[in-house]
């Protein structure tokens, strides 16, 4: 009887532990939803634009793996880039994205973001499909995630079936071919300087 009872207790404990482990690691859909909700919440809050931008960026950084993104964007040039050039690229690329998209996010007054589908593959990749509703139209936006030691991390976004990573991979490739990685970093810096900081 006691043996049975302790067995039952053990089983309950085991199930509880499994549940806790699952709760500790949110799925791809939960990760994307949490990030979008937090960013939109910040975008719609009151306060200085620069401060809100930094707060939103901090949230995005938690679930977007900018290093994985940068490696994919630099593609074949990543392997030959120095450690210093890689670090600089990751920083500049994140800043470039933040400046390019913050204004659009801050100005987004649409209805809602609808979660359409979640596809999780056996090999640790996942796609979360969403529809961003504006006043007049719906834009399909898909997030691509990879399972890492720190949970699910996004590494690409496709809008209307056009991949952000593939887009920058193409345009940066051209710049690196003509001006080298140093030239690319320089162009990114001047582009960032042209974009409004808030």
Partner 1 sequence: MGLLLLAGLAALAFLALELGDVSPPFAHHYELRARFVSTSGLREGAFVEIAGVRVGQVTAIDLDSDAYEAVVRMRLDRRLSLPRDAIASIRTTGLIGEKFVKITPGGADENLPPGGEIVDTESSISIEELISKYIFESDSR
**Cα 175 to the chain's mean position, in Å?**
24
Q: Which of 36, 98, 144, 188 binds partner 1 (CB under 8 A)?
A: 144
Q: According to the binding rule CB under 8 A, does residue 94 interact with partner 1? A: no
Q: Which is nearer to partner 1, 95 or 142 (CB)?
A: 142
Q: According to the binding rule CB under 8 A, does residue 130 interact with partner 1? A: no
Report helix, strand and coil shares of the chain as percent, to nearest 5.
65, 20, 15
Query: 198 near 49, Cβ under 8 Å?
Result: yes
DSSP secondary structure of 124-163: SEEEEEEEEE-SS-EEEEEEEEEEETTEEEEEEEEETTEE
Q: Which of 83, 84, 160, 193 binds partner 1 (CB under 8 A)?
A: 160
Q: According to the binding rule CB under 8 A, does residue 161 interact with partner 1? A: yes
Query: 187 near 195, Cβ under 8 Å?
Result: no
Which range of residues in 3-11, 20-28, 56-64, 160-168 is near partner 1 by CB under 8 A?
160-168
Q: According to the binding rule CB under 8 A, does residue 72 interact with partner 1? A: yes
Q: How many CB atoms are located within 10 Å of the residue 161 CB? A: 7
Which range of residues in 8-16, 105-113, 134-142, 184-192 is near partner 1 by CB under 8 A?
134-142
183 backbone dihedrals φ, ψ, rounded to 5°: -65, -40
Q: Which of 162, 178, 190, 193 binds partner 1 (CB under 8 A)?
A: 162
Q: Which of 45, 134, 150, 171 binds partner 1 (CB under 8 A)?
A: 134
Give the shortest CB-138-to-partner 1 separation in angstroms.
Answer: 8
Helix (H, G, I), strand (E, B) or coil at 72: helix
Give the shortest CB-97-to-partner 1 separation in angstroms.
Answer: 18
Q: How many CB atoms are located within 10 Å of the residue 93 CB? A: 21
Name the residue among 140, 150, 109 with its Cα closest to residue 25: 150
Q: According to the binding rule CB under 8 A, does residue 111 interact with partner 1? A: no
Q: Give the side-chain half-sphere CA count within 13 A for 124.
A: 9
Q: According to the binding rule CB under 8 A, does residue 165 interact with partner 1? A: yes
Residues that bind partner 1 (CB under 8 A): 71-72, 74-79, 119, 121, 123, 125, 134-137, 144, 156, 158, 160-163, 165-166, 169-170
């Amino acid at each position: 009887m006691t043996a049975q009872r302790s067995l039952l207790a053990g089983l309950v404990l085991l199930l509880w532990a499994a549940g806790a482990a699952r709760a500790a690691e949110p799925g791809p859909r939960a990760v994307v939803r949490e990030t979008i909700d937090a960013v939109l919440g910040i975008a719609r809050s009151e306060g200085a634009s620069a401060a809100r931008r930094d707060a939103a960026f901090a949230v995005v950084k938690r679930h977007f793996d900018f290093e994985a993104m940068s490696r994919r964007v630099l593609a074949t040039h990543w392997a030959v880039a120095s450690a210093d050039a890689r670090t600089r690229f990751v920083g500049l690329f994140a800043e470039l994205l933040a400046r390019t998209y913050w204004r659009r996010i801050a100005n987004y007054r649409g209805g809602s973001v609808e979660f359409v589908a979640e596809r999780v593959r056996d090999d640790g990749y996942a796609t979360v499909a969403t529809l961003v509703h504006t006043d007049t139209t719906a834009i399909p936006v898909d997030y691509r995630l990879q399972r890492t030691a720190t949970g699910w991390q996004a590494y690409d976004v496709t809008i209307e079936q056009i991949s952000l990573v593939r887009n920058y991979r193409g345009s940066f490739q051209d710049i690196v071919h003509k001006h080298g990685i140093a030239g690319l970093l320089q162009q990114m810096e001047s582009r960032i300087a042209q974009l409004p900081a808030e």
